[in-house]
Amino acid sequence: MFIEQKTILNLQPIKQCVRVTFNYDVHFTRGLFELNNPLLAQVIAADQQTTAKQVVTVIDGGLLQYQSKLLEKLSVYAQHYENIFTLSGEPIIVPGGETVKNDSRFIEQIHQRINICGLCRHSYVLAIGGGAVLDMAGYAATTAHRGIRLLRVPTTVLAQNDSGVGVKNGINAFGKKNFLGTFMPPYAVLNDFDFLTTLDERDWRSGIAEAVKVALIKDGDFFDFIMNYADKLGKRDMEIMEQLIYRCSQLHLEHIAGSGDPFEMGSSRPLDFGHWAAHKLEYLTNYSLRHGEAVAIGIALDSTYSYLAGLLLQSEWQRILGTLNKLGFTLYVSALTEQLDQPDHPHCLFRGLTEFREHLGGELTITLLQGIGQGIEVHQVDLSLYRKAILMLRDWE
Amino acid sequence: MFIEQKTILNLQPIKQCVRVTFNYDVHFTRGLFELNNPLLAQVIAADQQTTAKQVVTVIDGGLLQYQSKLLEKLSVYAQHYENIFTLSGEPIIVPGGETVKNDSRFIEQIHQRINICGLCRHSYVLAIGGGAVLDMAGYAATTAHRGIRLLRVPTTVLAQNDSGVGVKNGINAFGKKNFLGTFMPPYAVLNDFDFLTTLDERDWRSGIAEAVKVALIKDGDFFDFIMNYADKLGKRDMEIMEQLIYRCSQLHLEHIAGSGDPFEMGSSRPLDFGHWAAHKLEYLTNYSLRHGEAVAIGIALDSTYSYLAGLLLQSEWQRILGTLNKLGFTLYVSALTEQLDQPDHPHCLFRGLTEFREHLGGELTITLLQGIGQGIEVHQVDLSLYRKAILMLRDWE
């Protein structure tokens, strides 16, 4: 593809280099909205403005079933700290889970509120909920006035240790996960462990999958910790869960800061281990699988494939599947085998490879394992080996 | 506002620092779509991918009146360089000017095309047109897959020397200019001077206002250049215009790279001299004023205010108004005096101060002049002095 060099004008191109630095803190607390916990007010007051800041609140409706006093607490908290911030209208209550990412009207609702209340760019959107609600509210916040400050209060294990601490916001469109979105860090993240005590069993378990994922590609010791405490995690031991969340978010944050490409302009994104299949499985099961449950299957699949490809020892592969199993994850769903001979069929799992590449850009890049704690990127896969891996998952027990 | 320090948990906050570097070149050329001009193909081929890249094209319909062969040229160019890129469907032709920023359906149209053609994040949106079309297409591109590569081909003076080289994208909503948008640099900017030869007189002149603006706050020599060549610029001297555009975009790019806050997370944005009034005047005149025409009035107003406030010498003030006049700008419109005694009235110019602060965030920050080439930021203004300045503009000749 040789192109002749030619200078049309004697005006040299101007080479522009824009460097942007984003600082944000990820806090860990309990009882975020108790009056004797000043953390939220401190975070808002930190920029030392003299007037009370405006805060639009977006709350995951799923949460209110279990946290029936949340709205009242929030209102009392705001009154107590009225010198520091005021709530701009009643909290916007939205459905939890992927529903909220599949309908752009929730974005419009937040934009409308920001407009009506006359919020400025230094105001806040306070988003309280699971990963999907935070993703959606983040997209709304980061596009209003080209970016209003986003305070994330993740309320699930998955949001606290993974999606809620990162730099991505987005919603689904055209049946494609996260088709619309922004890379934009939050202003701060406030992880309140108390929210975890009322999670249902599936949401408690689901987020552990992201910890398994990051442990497998980055930190063998952390995987051992999860494996050794799998029983306790199953029994909802809070102390173990807090340690898991802290270490997992630390690994995520280190990766984002240290990757050299936090906004994923290149092709590398090793934190997506197991995710090409997970994203597709969520779609194929009509989002009846939680994201973390789909990730667990994706991890099992890509670990099995790594084993079959000769990258992983049989004993390592067995420890991975054994741990996922002990944690209570199901490692096979029938959607894995639909249309398996037609890789381009919209209902075939393998179509997820194309969609993953398309979303990411450039050539296909899949993370596999060459040991527990050691990810490796590959750019080609053998579908027949994947078919074998799927059958092994089906028969595994 | 003292807040008691309290540590709820022994888990320390994780302090995250994300650094992102964006590099992009601003090119200057003629005959961008001539087969013997390889620039566009070179820019696309620069990432050394082996497969032809997909390109969705968005074209300012206003352009086609004057550039009747543009579509054909583009198609022939793409065929010639088919190893490097392919056009993903027919170009999307959109209205030029603020119309395109006032209707979100154009954004949806681009997103739909990106979806249907299966573009990946490393594909391109090639936007050809005036500033409004580039702003809109940029917002669409930077939100699809969290950011598809944006190639800007600015075709007006204003877009080539100002909006098209910067890091902002956006559309209007709720009657507020740029209410929705992103800060995200383009992948590259391709300034083709040939497009300027067919501009109508208003568009030719309009963009010069942004050069006057940046000269007044940053570079006295550049202001002298504009003043001395005002006649030639009026007579459409291309060589002078090329120099003006090059220097103006250079000053803009230096400011963005050197400001320390390219995504405007703080309060400082001295490049917006004259803009609080300009944005409001555009709205008040129902966008019958071009952006640059409104900026010229905004510059005249804030220069007059600077003079009345004792910051600027009378001779400097006269040189500024004289130059704007010589360039052919009208410095007074009746919208300046509507509802002038009711600063909060939606049709009062002064309401623009509130809206400017709201969009920017934090306290009000207005740039004034303390000399030609020397901007200064103030945080309070005297409305009675502004009323006087408006009357002086009305009577000025």
Nearest-CA distance B17 → chain A (Å):
5
Residue of A nearest to B167 (CA): A18
Q: Binning pLDDT at 50, 70 and 90, where does residue B271 land?
A: confident
Could you give the number of structural domains in chain A?
A: 2
Please give the C-alpha separations between residue A256 and each of A168, A364, B174, in angstroms, as whole numbers.
Answer: 11, 20, 35
| Least trusted range by pLDDT, from A70-79, A272-281, B255-264 | B255-264
With a cut of 60, say whether residue A2 has pLDDT above it.
no
* Residues B307 and B379 occupy one common structural domain: yes
| B257 assigned to some structural domain | no
Q: Binning pLDDT at 50, 70 and 90, where does residue A8 land?
A: very low
Which alpha helices (DSSP H) does B219-344 contain, by range?
220-228, 230-234, 238-258, 275-284, 291-308, 314-326
What integer pLDDT is reported at residue A250 of this predicted model? Answer: 97
* Residues B377 and B247 occupy one common structural domain: yes
Q: Binning pLDDT at 50, 70 and 90, where does residue A269 land?
A: low
Chain A residues with CB inside 8 Å of B193's CB? 9
| Token reading at A201 | 């069993």
* Residues A221 and A271 occupy one common structural domain: yes
- Which residue in B20, B25, B179 is closest to A145 by CB distance? B179
* Residues A362 and A234 occupy one common structural domain: yes
Nearest-CA distance A365 → chain B (Å):
13
B130-144: average pLDDT: 97
* Residues B100 and B232 occupy one common structural domain: no
A69-84: average pLDDT: 98
Residues ≥6 apart with Cβ < 8 Å to B71: B59, B64, B91
Domain CATH code at residue B142: 3.40.50.1970
Neighbouring-strand partners of residue A94: A60
Kindly report, residue by residue over A284-320, the tens digit of the pLDDT.
999 899 999 999 999 999 999 999 999 999 999 999 9
Chosen for mutation from B2, B4, B10, B14 (greatest number of chain A CBs closer than 10 Å) is B14
| A11 assigned to some structural domain | no
Supply the range of the domain harboring residue B335.
201-251+264-395
In this structure, what DSSP letter does residue B69 have? Answer: T
- Residue B76 backbone zone (phi > 0: left; psi -120 to 50: alpha; other: beta): alpha
* Residues A226 and A143 occupy one common structural domain: no
| B167 assigned to some structural domain | yes
With a cut of 80, say whether residue A235 has pLDDT above it.
yes
| A1 assigned to some structural domain | no
* Residues B188 and B299 occupy one common structural domain: no
Nearest-CA distance A284 → chain B (Å):
19
Alpha-carbon gap, residue A107 to A219, rounded angstroms: 37
Residue contact B18–A16, C-beta within 8 A: no
| B30 assigned to some structural domain | yes
| A112 assigned to some structural domain | yes
The last residue of one of the domains, among B198, B215, B241, is: B198
With a cut of 90, say whether residue A242 has pLDDT above it.
yes
Percent of all residues in chain B with a pLDDT value above 70, rounded to a whole number: 96
* Residues A140 and A206 occupy one common structural domain: no
Element (H, E) at B268: none
- Which residue in A38, A165, A246 is closest to B6 by CB distance? A38
Kindly report, residue by residue over A107-143, the tens digit of the pLDDT.
999 999 999 999 999 999 999 999 999 999 999 999 9
Cα-Cα-Cα-Cα torsion A94, A96, A97, A98, nearest 10 degrees, comes to -10
Alpha-carbon gap, residue A347 to A345, rounded angstroms: 5
> Number of CB pairs < 8 Å for A and B?
255
* Residues B192 and B300 occupy one common structural domain: no
Neighbouring-strand partners of residue A168: A183
The last residue of one of the domains, among A198, A223, A256, is: A198
Cα-Cα-Cα-Cα torsion A281, A283, A288, A291, nearest 10 degrees, comes to 60
**Which has more pLDDT, A47 or B116?**
B116
* Residues A112 and A57 occupy one common structural domain: yes
Residue of A nearest to B17 (CA): A23
Residue of B nearest to A9 (CA): B29
* Residues A165 and A211 occupy one common structural domain: no
Query: Which value, in Å, is the radius of gyration of the alpha carbons in chain A?
Result: 22
With a cut of 50, say whether residue A3 has pLDDT above it.
no
Residue contact B182–A31, C-beta within 8 A: no
Alpha-carbon gap, residue A300 to A303, rounded angstroms: 5
* Residues B214 and B358 occupy one common structural domain: yes
With a cut of 60, say whether residue B109 has pLDDT above it.
yes
The last residue of one of the domains, among A178, A198, A218, is: A198
With a cut of 60, say whether residue A203 has pLDDT above it.
yes
**Residue A365 dihedral angles phi and psi, to the nearest 5°:** -135, 115
Residue contact A111–B183, C-beta within 8 A: no
Alpha-carbon gap, residue A96 to A100, rounded angstroms: 6
User: Crossing angle, helix B314-326 and helix B291-308, to 10 degrees?
Assistant: 160
Helix/strand/coil for B254: helix
Task: State the SS3 of B79-91.
Answer: HHCCCCEEECCCC
**Which has more pLDDT, B7 or A364?**
A364
Percent of all residues in chain B with a pLDDT value above 90, rounded to a whole number: 86
- Which residue in B17, B176, B360 is closest to A121 by CB distance? B360
Domain CATH code at residue B341: 1.20.1090.10
Chain A residues with CB inside 8 Å of B110's CB? none
Chain A residues with CB inside 8 Å of B144's CB? 179-180
| A219 assigned to some structural domain | yes
| A253 assigned to some structural domain | no
What integer pLDDT is reported at residue A271 of this predicted model? Answer: 82
What integer pLDDT is reported at residue A6 of this predicted model? Answer: 41
Residue of B nearest to A41 (CA): B3
With a cut of 80, say whether residue A9 has pLDDT above it.
no
Closest to A204 measured CA to CA, from A240, A168, A165: A240
Residue contact A359–B145, C-beta within 8 A: yes
